Amino acid sequence: MFKRLFFICLALTVPILYFEPMFQIWFRYQAIQFPGSTWIGPLLAIVIYFYGGWIFFVGAWREWHSKIGMMTLVSLAITVSFVYSLAVSLGLQGMPFYWELATLIDIMLLGHWIEMASVQGASRALEHLAKLVPSVAHRLVGDRVEDIAIQALQSNDRILIRPGEQIPIDGQVANGASSVNEAFLTGESRPVTKQVGDEVIAGAVNGEGALKVTVTRTGEQTTLSQIMRLVQEAQNSRSQYQVLADQVAYWLTLIAIGVGTLTFVIWLPLKDITFAINRAVTVLVITCPHALGLAIPLVIVNATAMAAKNGILVRNREAFERAKDIKIVAFDKTGTLTEGKFGVQTVYTDGMNDQEALAIAAALETLSEHPLGQAIVRDAETKGVPRLAATDFQAIAGKGISGLVRETTYFVGRPEWIQELGVQCADNLKQGLEAAEARGESVIALMDQTHVLALFALADQVRESARQAIHQLQDAGVQSVMITGDAEAVAKTVANALGIQRYYARVLPQDKASIVRSLKKEAPTVFVGDGINDAPALLEADLGVAIGAGTNVAIESADLVLIENDPLDVARALKLGKATYSKMIQNLLWATGYNVIAIPLAAGVAYSLGLLLDPAIGALFMSLSTVIVSINAMTLRRVKLA
């Protein structure tokens, strides 16, 4: 809308400038003359005033019901200049302000167009949340399976969840065993084993086994629906942030009205009414500089361009203004400080070397789709371990896998399987198991029919850039906090590895926002996350930052998105935010500072000394401030973020 208004008004402004006497004097040309040519300016100005200015009148009307600001100031300036100029065209002595009126509307429309272009559309977080849940469930009716809409499910219904399917509703496992990926919902990085009696949550992904589940919660009572409600509440409760230009415009409007009225009252008895009106109108017109409409948008456009080059997507322009005060950065763990995928940390062996153990385990796990098994396969490939072939492969749901490798039967699975198989475990392996579990690592056991041969300790791998990010934030005086749904041992291990002194473990989805709320009471807080469970916390924080590889709901709930999935970009974003805010302040000073001199001169304070600010000179001041504001905004690109 602003784009269309701007270009149409700009086209109508060109003839006004061409026929403007001041422009003819400045640029030394003679405009063509014909009957009625003197009315081209007034007629086009009328069209621009009502067509281009209407949006500002609507905005001013809304401001009058809350707090006056930029829209009120613009509306006042264009209305006074329009009415006065029309009166001059109809016979009142004075100089019309048609070209000032037209260009002021053009510049303000341009500024709003730039501003709107820098802001992303309304958040679609709730839509992405809704898409996570399948629309159809497999309900068990006796020995028959029927597909029905999840809205038709009721408590105590039994449903079938096949391997690889998303769980459509909250429930309790009635039959079967499987591993379930709940990382997006709970922040738990490892697949969670589900057996009879365990709870499953809507939106999680089933692993290798089939599950029969009894429905326990439907509709608004499901965990996912509760998270959706938290997101919606956070969106609705966020107060509207007043941009700095509006605050400046508020005071400038009061000054303009006050000084303009005072000017008229003082000069009316001292001079004639025409002089008094001229002085008052000049004050009102000069007080609304063109540059004020561009002061903030131009900085934001340059800042967003810089951010994009550094892998930071800006979804909310207010992020720059809030970044300057940040003192606490709260990180989600899984997928943010860690890579969100497992890697082999330690191998404990008995009777064979690490390479041989990896080769046998990888041969079996190659045929499995379990994420922990795939981590072993990746580690074997990375270390160049020779590939072995496995036959007679079998998957035992909830326990592990077995198969023949070099004519020997091997078992790979959970440590709990050791006792069930009745195989012997050496003392050094028992000690290794205890040490790995104390660190919160997941353990996979390799066994033959009589002994435990090896234990593989796996953990979510810490991002190397996360260490650098924490260090840079500490140097900048910003405290780092970790919030995770993982167990205490896992959280402690990752925190120690990164040098984070403060962390929260086993945090439920609905509690993350509460922790962020409490941190905000200590100091302005950033939250950095990537999961669905992070969305309420992202919205609750003073500044929400989403990892780009995260879920759409997290991205849509954030103010900034790290496209490259690099935690170092958090430090860069805060640095850019502070530099951007500084440029905003500088631009506002340049855009309004000349009023300290211009307003008194326009009011006629130096009239007795022979100094009287002509509207044309005031227009030059406005043009100069616009140029300065534009150049100053461009200098933001010199800031080095790396």
Active site members: 332
Question: Strands 479-483 and 502-504: what pairing?
Answer: parallel
Both structure tokens of 336: 């943010």
Separation CA 486–CA 497 (nearest Å): 15
Burial bucket for residue 242 (CB in 10 Å: 0-12, 13-18, 19+): middle
**CB-based contacts of 298, cutoff 8 Å, min separation 6:** 114, 587, 629, 630, 633
User: What residues form DSSP beta bridges with 161?
Assistant: 211
CA dist 383 to 164, 362, 376, 512, Å? 30, 12, 11, 39
266, 283 Cβ separation under 8 angstroms: no
How many CB atoms lie under 10 A from the CB of residue 546? 30
Give SS3 for 457: strand
Both structure tokens of 409: 């039967």
Q: Look at phi and psi of residue 63 and say left if phi exceeds 0, alpha if psi is from -120 to 50, else beta.
A: alpha
Separation CA 30–CA 477 (nearest Å): 63
- Residue whose C-alpha is closest to residue 602's, from 253, 273, 276, 291: 276
Separation CA 361–CA 641 (nearest Å): 45
User: What's at 103, amino acid-wise?
Assistant: T
Separation CA 296–CA 621 (nearest Å): 19
Positive or negative torsion for Cα 357, 360, 361, 363: positive
Radius of gyration (Cα) for the chain, nearest Å? 34
Which helix (H) or strand (E) segment is 458 a member of? strand 452-462
71, 60 Cβ separation under 8 angstroms: yes
- Residue whose C-alpha is closest to residue 282's, from 556, 632, 595, 58: 595
User: What's at 523, amino acid-wise?
Assistant: A
The tokens 């809205």 sit on which residue? Answer: 151
Separation CA 510–CA 171 (nearest Å): 19
545, 288 Cβ separation under 8 angstroms: no
Positive or negative torsion for Cα 610, 616, 617, 618: positive
